[in-house]
A and B are shown apart, each in its own frame.
Chain A
Amino acid sequence: MDLKGFDQSGRPAAGGTRSVKVMIAGGFGTGKTTMVRAVSDIKPLTTEETLTQASAGDDHLIGIADKAETTVSLDFGKISLNDSLMLYLFGTPGQERFWFLWNGLFKGALGAIVLVDTRRLASSFRAIEEMERQNVPFVIALNVFPDSANHPVEEIRDALDISPHTPVVECDARDRASSRDVLVALIRHLQERSAVAVESR
Chain B
Amino acid sequence: MSAPRPPTDPSGLERYYVLTNGRSRPGGSASSLDVATLIVSLTAPAPGMQHEHEDIVRRCRDPLSVAELGAHLGLPFNILAVLLADLLDAGRVEARDPIPAHDAGRGLDLALLQEVLSGLERL
Using a CB–CB distance below 8 Å, which chain A residues touch chain B?
1-3, 5-6, 8, 14-15, 17-21, 39, 45-50, 52-53, 68-69, 71, 74, 76, 78-82, 85-88, 90, 102, 104-111, 135-137, 176-177, 180, 183-184, 187-188, 190-191, 193-198
Contact = CB atoms under 8 A, between A and B. Distances in A.
B51 to A, nearest CB: 17
Contacts of A69: 11, 13
B65 A78 contact: yes
Nearest to A196: B107
Contact of A108 (B68, B78, B98, B108): B98
A167 B79 CA distance: 38
B96 A18 contact: yes
Contacts of A194: 107-110, 113
Contact of A47 (B41, B61, B62, B70): B70
A46 B38 CA distance: 17
Given A78-B68, A110-B108, A20 B63 contact: no
A105 to B, nearest CB: 7
B117 interface: yes
Interface string B1-44: 00000000001010010000000100000001011111011111
A81 to B, nearest CB: 3
A198 B44 CA distance: 45
A79 B36 CA distance: 12
Contacts of B11: 68-69
Contacts, number: 171
A45 B68 CA distance: 7
A49 B47 CA distance: 30
Given A184-B120, A187-B117, 13 more contacts: A2-B44, A8-B42, A20-B99, A20-B112, A21-B35, A48-B77, A78-B68, A82-B118, A87-B120, A90-B36, A108-B101, A184-B121, A187-B120
Contacts of B42: 6, 8
A198 B73 CA distance: 43
Contacts of A195: 107, 110
B116 to A, nearest CB: 5
B108 A107 contact: no
Residue with the greatest number of chain B CB neighbours at <10 A, chosen from A17, A68, A102: A17
Contacts of A48: 70, 76-77
User: Which of B35, B40, B121 is most buried by chain A, counting CB atoms within 10 A of its CB?
Assistant: B35
Contacts of B117: 184, 187-188, 191
B8 to A, nearest CB: 16
Nearest to A14: B62
B76 A81 contact: no
B48 interface: no
A49 B38 contact: no
Contacts of B77: 47-50
A19 B108 contact: no
